[in-house]
Amino acid sequence: EVHLVQSGGGLVQPGGPLRLSCTTSGFTFSNYWMSWVRQAPGKGLEWVANIDQDGSEKYYVDSVKGRFTISRDNAKNSLSLQMNSLRAEDTAVYYCARDRYCDSAACYSNPLGPWGQGTLVTVAS
């Protein structure tokens, strides 16, 4: 069974850093892109970033470019999101999710899923 278990999160002051982690099991992690998605309180879902299967390609939503860094450790089946210069508007529940599948020939677009349980990040003084 596929599992994505998140850790990190919490209360941080504006301008501060925070690191989120997502540990996976039940699938071949190194064959998949991975994404981070967030949901501000009472709001809809916003895709934040994704990373290809070997960590060489990374994409971000404009609002976090230059502040957030997505990374992965295929040996540990884990995904991370380093968040710096945090702002009040970054307050949200953050989810990791499995993304597109890659084999030796190509990568294949997939919907996002499964998802981690989510972790709340609150940016406030």
Using rule CB under 8 A, residue 113 touches another protein: yes
Between 16 and 54, name the residue whose CB sits nearer to another protein: 54
Region of 18-26, 41-49, 72-80, 83-91 interacting with another protein (CB under 8 A): 41-49
Using rule CB under 8 A, residue 45 touches another protein: yes
CB of 3 within 8 A of CB of 24? yes
Pull the structure tokens for residue 65. 């470019």
Region of 13-21, 22-30, 44-52, 80-88 interacting with another protein (CB under 8 A): 44-52
Using rule CB under 8 A, residue 110 touches another protein: yes
CB of 42 to another protein, least distance (A): 10
Region of 8-16, 67-75, 77-85, 106-114 interacting with another protein (CB under 8 A): 106-114
Of positions 1, 89, 104, 111, contacts another protein by CB under 8 A: 111
Q: What residues have CB less than 8 Å from 20, skipping those under 6 apart? A: 6, 7, 8, 9, 36, 80, 81, 83, 94, 96, 119, 121
44/38 Cα distance (integer angstroms): 8
Picking from 49, 21, 20, the residue whose alpha carbon sits closest to that of residue 33 is 49
23/54 Cα distance (integer angstroms): 16
Residues of this chain that interact with another protein (CB under 8 A) are 35, 44-47, 50, 59, 61-62, 95, 100, 109-118
